[in-house]
Amino acid sequence: MAYDPNFPPDHQALAAAPWRDQFNGLKALIDAQQATIDSQQSQIGSMNSSIAELQDAVNALQGNA
């Protein structure tokens, strides 16, 4: 079950299964967010490496190497 921002309904008795579904839905959202962050960190690392290589090339062309 996906996270339901309207849960729990007002004036209803508590039951474990809907709460468990709610927490599992929140965990799925958090896990998906972490996967996105990990992917972006990898992309940033690759871009930083490319920038360093380009900076070395610029320095070599300018005679600063």
Q: Write down the pLDDT at residue 64.
A: 76
Q: Write down the pLDDT at residue 2.
A: 84
Confirm whether 54 is domain-assigned.
yes
Mean pLDDT of 3-8: 88
Identity of the amino acid at 1: M
Confirm whether 59 is domain-assigned.
yes
Burial track 15-29 (b if 16+ CB lie within 10 A, e otherwise): eeeeeeebeebeeee
Q: What percent of the chain clears pLDDT 90, i.e. is strictly above it?
A: 74
Confirm whether 9 is domain-assigned.
no
Q: How far apart are CA 65 and CA 44, in angstroms?
A: 25
9: pLDDT confidence band, cut at 50, 70 and 90? confident
The domain total for the chain is: 1
Instruction: Give the range of the structural domain holding residue 59, as residue numbers without chain letter.
Output: 36-65
Mean pLDDT of 27-56: 96
Confirm whether 3 is domain-assigned.
no
Confirm whether 43 is domain-assigned.
yes
**pLDDT, mean over the chain:** 92
Q: Write down the pLDDT at residue 65.
A: 59
Prior bond of 8 cis (ω within 30°): yes
